[in-house]
Amino acid sequence: MRFWLAVLAGALVLAVAFLRLPGSNPPLTMAVVMLAGLGTGFFAARRGALAGLLIVYLGNLLFVVINIAQRGVGDGGDPAGVGGFLVRLLIVQVVLLQFAIPAAIAGWAGAYARRRWLGTRS
């Protein structure tokens, strides 16, 4: 339960960051992703790398859902329609690897730091 709560919290942090920092400052965005991965791994306590990886994809999914709710798909929001939207959504999953891999490393480091600081009892 703690794992999924940590992943959900990290994904919410990243969704808000993706909404507020729309590609304007890549180093700042990467710093936010790394810090969110570190915190998620720390609070997940186990499987920190998986937690870090998941927050990027779930955060992006929340970002997409929020954008669809605000702008819609098709008429006003996406000129390519639903088909073009789905193709671009698949392409973005590959592009997100540049964020997912560092987040997984940071998640592992967060879980490792928790084990070192709090011992193996957690």
Residues in the chain: 122
Query: Could you give the 3-state DSSP secondary structure of residue 20?
Result: helix
Task: Please identify which residue in the block is written with the tokens 């929001």.
Answer: 77
Sign of the four-CA dihedral 77, 81, 84, 89: positive
Q: What is the pLDDT of residue 86?
A: 75
Contact 99, 92 (CB under 8 A): no
Q: Given this model, what pLDDT does residue 77 score?
A: 55
What pLDDT does residue 112 have?
94
- The pTM score is 0.81
- Six-digit token string for 100: 């997912």
pLDDT averaged over every residue in the chain: 85
Which spans in the chain are helix H? 2-20, 26-44, 48-71, 81-95, 97-118
DSSP 24: S
- In tens, the pLDDT along 58-112 reads 998 888 888 778 777 655 555 666 777 777 778 888 888 888 999 999 999 999 9
Specify the pLDDT at position 46: 87
In the chain, the amino acid numbered 4 is W
Q: Using one digit for the tens of pLDDT, what is the confidence trace for 30-58?
A: 899 999 999 999 999 889 999 999 999 99
